[in-house]
Amino acid sequence: MLCGTMGLLGALFAPFDAAAVARPDTGHGHAEDVPAAVLAALARDLDMTEDQARQRLAVQERAVALNTALRGRMGKDHAGSWLDADTGRLTVAATRADQAPRVVAAGADVRVVRHGAAALAAISDDLGGHRGGRGAKAVTAPEGVVGWYTDPAGDRVVVTIRRDAARATLDRLAAYGDAVVVARATAQPTATWQYLHGGDAINGGNCSNGFNVVNPTTSVRYLITAGHCVTAGGTVTGQDGSVIGPVVERWFPGFDDALVRVTNTAQWVQGPWVDTNPSNGAAVTIDGYSDGPVGAAVCKSGVKTRLTCGHITGKDQSVLYDNVNWMYGLTRFDACVEKGDSGGSVYQTGPQNRAEGVVSGATLDAGRCLEKVGLPNVSFYYPIADSLAYYGPRYGVVVS
């Protein structure tokens, strides 16, 4: 089964060298420790050799640490970031020009933007969503809009609409000027479940396990999975049909996660593990969690498509599932995801494997991820950072 944590700054600028971040290294002694199955999946899905994948992971590890440090130092002036998939260079968007020398000195590229994260978040709130967080009433999105996400590199919100969207909706979106760009939907996104009930399979293979979490004070253990995979007050079962435990909290729609208490501890042995060939393959060990920038490589483990990898392509995604359920705060990525993968683990791999989130949904073609019909994959996960920010204070849980 499965699990996550990350860091800050202070006097951390000194170890970050601009040339080192830009320069790929061999990764030996670090990325060479990535399990063979994960390395092979990265090479396959990112269209590179295994040696190139090792180099990419080593560079990415430094860039992600640098981004975390800069976010802590810049505060509200940090307007997002992204990794260049070819060079491994980190670019940070800044809302003030006087931040640029600091970013460059730390070892990243910088782009001064006109709108920035706060303005784009305000547009996202205006389009719809739970402005007050969990439990707040959702604001209805304009008719014909099926989703939107923040594109920090473009300093804009990308809004996806149906082809039959009304002129009034187009006019409203046009009023945001260059802070919004409109894209047409190729298909309707859907939650990647088989059925609402069931049970690496969990609930009969209808969904997948997420990450193990634990209250280190009481040693009470839990599992985080997708909210749409379970029912409030229900019981979750494992791949052999044995009970795992009751659903403590479940959020869906709006948000998409759930906390399951593991009461059948005699049957289920837990630890900080993710299966690389669900349900009974080798495992990688999870060490903390992350909230990676656009461009970061991530891998996904789920019972339907097993181990697949891709890149983060958008943050703070709002999306309409099945033309019924609005979802908010998702991360968009391009690994193959299909029905049955929901709740599965998405993680950054490298010198450390860090939890990123649990699979939520995807845009599919006749049930297939889009790469199978020659199109870029569009998949979504709910960030573990947001799950822990909510469940941590309430239940004392950390990634185990």
User: Prior bond to 278 cis, omega within 30?
Assistant: no
- For 241, left (φ over 0), alpha (ψ -120 to 50), or beta? left
Q: What is the CA radius of gyration of the chain?
A: 20
User: Prior bond to 81 cis, omega within 30?
Assistant: no
Strand-pair partners of 183 = 160
Which candidate, 352, 347, 355, places its Cα nearest to that of 27? 352
**Catalytic residue list contains 311:** no
Query: Is the C-alpha dihedral spanning 156, 157, 158, 161 positive or negative?
Result: negative
- The Cα–Cα gap between 124 and 273 comes to 35
Tokens at 275, concatenated = 């299966």
Among candidate residues 155, 200, 256, 386, the one labeled active-site is: 256
Task: Provide the 3-class DSSP secondary structure of residue 253.
Answer: coil
Among candidate residues 208, 342, 387, 400, the one labeled active-site is: 342
Residues whose CB is less than 8 angstroms from the CB of residue 393 and which lie 6 or more positions away in sequence, other chains included:
none
Which candidate, 141, 198, 204, places its Cα nearest to that of 168? 141
Yes or no: say if 302 and 274 are a contact pair by the CB < 8 Å rule.
Answer: no
Among candidate residues 78, 115, 130, 228, the one labeled active-site is: 228
Yes or no: say if 389 and 5 are a contact pair by the CB < 8 Å rule.
Answer: no
Q: How far is CA 109 from CA 19, 28, 85, 103, in A?
A: 11, 26, 14, 7
**Catalytic residue list contains 287:** no
Q: Calculate the dihedral angle through the C-alpha atoms of 46, 49, 54, 57, rounding to the nearest 10 degrees.
A: -20
- The Cα–Cα gap between 141 and 131 comes to 12
User: For residue 128, how many C-alpha atoms fall within 13 Å in the half-sphere facing its CB?
Assistant: 24
| Side chain identity at residue 126, one-letter code | D
**Catalytic residue list contains 275:** no
- The Cα–Cα gap between 188 and 174 comes to 23
Residue 374 phi/psi, 5-degree rounding, is: 80, 20
Q: Residue ranges of the alpha helices (H) in the chain?
A: 18-22, 36-45, 50-74, 100-106, 116-127, 167-174, 384-395
Give the residue numbers marked as catalytic. 228, 256, 342
